[in-house]
Amino acid sequence: MEIRVVENLLRANEAVAMQTRAVLDAAGAVAVNLIGSAGAGKTALLEATLPRLGVSAAVIEGDLQTTRDAERIGRLGTPVVQITTGKSCHLPPQLVLRALDGLDLRSARLVLIENVGNLICPAEIPLGEHFKVAVLSTAEGDDKVAKYPMLFHLADAVVINKIDLLPHVTFSMDRVRDDLRQVGSKASVFELSAKTGAGLEAWLDWLSGRARPR
């Protein structure tokens, strides 16, 4: 009985995600779902990315509370909608679909969705995005791929952020790349520092390459 409710919920989520995808496709916009732990540097990555991207973008910010991240993005002049989820540990597809109403999709070729800080639930809840990006920071340790295999299996790209901290933390890039192979990842991997700008170019190329020509 309980299981049926959960299955219905999953199916309802998928139905909404398909609606979102249809709205995006009709406008020619490509959506990217950024998933990472609290503190991985998702907002900082957006702050480093948006001014250099060379492709028009809009942002949907997900958080439990506060509009701090949306304010950070808004200061860059990028159109942004904040979703506050209250207690929900992931962005619900219904609210993402509704958030699209607040964006001018005809002038945004990429819609970057920053999910709630969490490696688990956001990985399994589809939002209608075209691509998933996992954001991992070197400060979190090199065991996260093996411990959260679903996200890293599904991710189309993996950003390893905060490489400026490598001299100060215990983090083996080889171990991460080995574990990515173990979980069957086919992701492009970008080692970068949103803070210093090191390694950003390859990520910017990948991301701008996801946009469709208009």
In angstroms, what is the minimal distance from the CB of 5 to a copy of itself?
A: 5
Cα-to-chain-centroid distance, residue 199: 18
Q: Name which of residues 144 to 203 contact a copy of itself (CB under 8 A).
A: 144, 146-150, 162, 164-165, 168-169
- Containing H/E element for 173? helix 173-182
Write out the binding residues for a copy of itself, residues 37-66 only, by CB under 8 A: 37-39, 41, 63-66
DSSP codes, 136-164 = EEGGG-TTHHHHSHHHHHH-SEEEEE-GG
Q: Which residue has the tokens 């400060």?
A: 139
What tokens were used for 201? 């170019």
Cα–chain center distance at 102: 19
Binding-site size for a copy of itself (CB under 8 A) equals 38
Minimum CB–partner distance for residue 140 and a copy of itself (Å): 3
Distance (Å, whole) CA 137 – CA 144: 10
- Our CB check for a copy of itself shows the closer of 82 and 110 to be 82
Which is closer to a copy of itself, CB of 15 or CB of 202? 15
Burial of 186 from C-beta contacts in 10 A (0-12 / 13-18 / 19+): exposed
Site for a copy of itself in 85-144 (CB under 8 A): 87-89, 116-121, 124, 137, 139-141, 143-144
Segment interacting with a copy of itself, rule: CB under 8 A, options 14-22, 33-41, 126-134, 186-194: 33-41
Binding interface with a copy of itself (CB under 8 A) = 2, 5, 9, 37-39, 41, 63-66, 68, 87-89, 116-121, 124, 137, 139-141, 143-144, 146-150, 162, 164-165, 168-169
